[in-house]
Amino acid sequence: MEQKLTPDEFVTRAVKKLRKPPYKGIHTVYSGFNQAYREYFGTDPIAQTNKMAQEGTIIIRPVKGGVMLYLPEDADSRPDPKKVIEDIIS
C-alpha cells in the first residue's frame, strides 16, 4: 500500500470520515481506526495521537474500551474545575 498521507493527515481524515452522526468523534477501537493506522503505517497510533493532543490538533477523551478522538472544534468543552468546586460547596 502506497503511503500518501502524513500521520497528522491520516488521523484528521479518520475523525472526519469515520464518525457517525450525531457523534462528533470516533472510538479508536470500535471505529477500526487503530487497526487501520497500524496497517497503513506499521506502527501503533498511540504515540501519534498523544503528540497531536499535546499540540492541540485533536482532543482525546478516555472512554470504556479505549479513547475517543475529536477535532478541537467538535469536542464538548469540559467545565472549569473551580466552577464545579464552587457549585459543590455553595
What confidence tens digit (pLDDT) does each residue in 36-67 have?
A: 999 999 999 999 999 999 999 999 999 999 99
Per-residue confidence (pLDDT) for residue 44, from 0 to 100: 96
- What is the Cα–Cα distance from 4 to 6, expressed in whole angstroms? 7
> DSSP letters along 6-68, please?
-HHHHHHHHHHHH--TT--SEETTTTSHHHHHHHHHSS-SHHHHHHHHHHTSSEEEEETTEEE
Handedness of CA 19, 23, 29, 31 (dihedral sign): negative
What confidence tens digit (pLDDT) does each residue in 63-90 have?
A: 999 999 999 998 776 677 788 888 888 8
User: What average pLDDT score do residues 20-26 get?
Assistant: 94
Per-residue confidence (pLDDT) for residue 85, from 0 to 100: 86
**Which domains, from first to last, does the chain contain?**
7-89 (1.10.10)
